Structure 1
Amino acid sequence: MSFQPVFAQFWEKVKESIEDKTYAKLTLAKTIGDTELKNIYVRPVLLENDVFSLSVTAKYKTEEIESFHSLEEAFFVLAPYMNNPFMTALLFTTENDITFKLNKKRVGSIIEQAPTFKNASDVILEMKEKGL
């Protein structure tokens, strides 16, 4: 069974958290073995003219590379990193923490836990104030 449909369900939760203004941050973590790429962090940003975008920061052993993507583009940018090299994607919201995990057989699952963050991302709060 492929894990992609479960990751797509997880991404729907990412989109809902942005729409509901509860999004705090998203992290891809737990690599398989020692890899050059260590983490990917996804944070919301407002570009010129209050255009919403996602900042995707890839942390390597020796450098960081940041790129900006729409919500739809970000899914296609991040999805290939699941299972190569990441086994976990963590979505932090003010309502709960949602974890997408791959087990050893590469079967995906989604786990919800109590929230780590009390406040949404500063950009999400700014969007709320501006009515965006």
Structure 2
Amino acid sequence: MSFQIEFAHFWESVKESMSNYTFAKLTLAKTIGDTELKNIYMRPILVDDQVRISLIARYKTEEVESLHTLEEAFFMLSSYMNNPFLTALLFTTEHDLTFKLNKKRVGSIVEQAPTFKSASDVVLEMQEKGIVL
């Protein structure tokens, strides 16, 4: 698929923001049509001082949380791009990155000023404890 390479570049920015302790959150949004699945939110959590990725899938009537490694999260989220999501938004303290798929399903990355002034609480705790991905 034409967007997979661009999404992999986007994911490198996700990993970099986790390593640099600037990650705030990641959201998959803008679905194709009216779908049951509305959003997926990604946040890091610590389980026994091990970093896990919480993926919260928000459906019309419920939310379902699953825990993954960072690598597993990449494969999970990339499988949802183009089916049903067209946009992934990475919020960091340095900048916001938006991965978008256009009508021809070609991916692009747009950088904007940061929305968040501080990283997520878990990322700050990782930094405090010296936990590196």
> CA separation in 1, counterparts of 2:77 and 2:53?
11
- Offset at residue 74 of structure 1 (A): 0.4
After TM superposition, give the deviation of residue 73 of structure 1 in Å.
Answer: 0.7
TM-score of the pair, normalised by structure 2? 0.97
* 1:31 equivalent in structure 2: 31
DSSP-derived class of the 2:94 partner? coil
Equivalent residue, structure 1, for 2:81: 82
Q: CA deviation at 1:30?
A: 0.2
Structure 1 length normalisation: TM-score? Answer: 0.98
The residue type paired with residue 29 of structure 1 is A
Cross-structure match for 2:111:
112
Give the 5 Å matches for 1:114-129: 114-129=113-128
How many residue pairs were aligned?
A: 131
* Unpaired segments ≥5 residues, structure 1: none
1:97-123: CA deviations, max 9, x gaps?
000000011000000000000000000
Question: Which residue does the alignment assign to 1:41?
Answer: 41
Cα shift readout 1:32-73 (whole Å, capped 9, x = no counterpart): 11000000000010012x000110000000111100001111
C-alpha distance in 2 between matches for 1:92 and 1:38: 19
Q: Hey, what does 1:66 align to over in structure 2? A: 65
Q: 1:20 and 1:131 mapped to 2: Cα distance?
A: 11
Q: Distance in 1 between matches of 2:35 and 2:13?
A: 28
AA partner of residue 111 (structure 1): V
Tell me if 1:17 matches 2:10.
Answer: no
- Stretches of 4+ moved more than 6 A in 1? none
What percentage of aligned pairs have identical amino acids? 74
Number of the residue aligned with 1:101: 100
Where do 5+ consecutive residues of structure 2 fail to align?
A: none
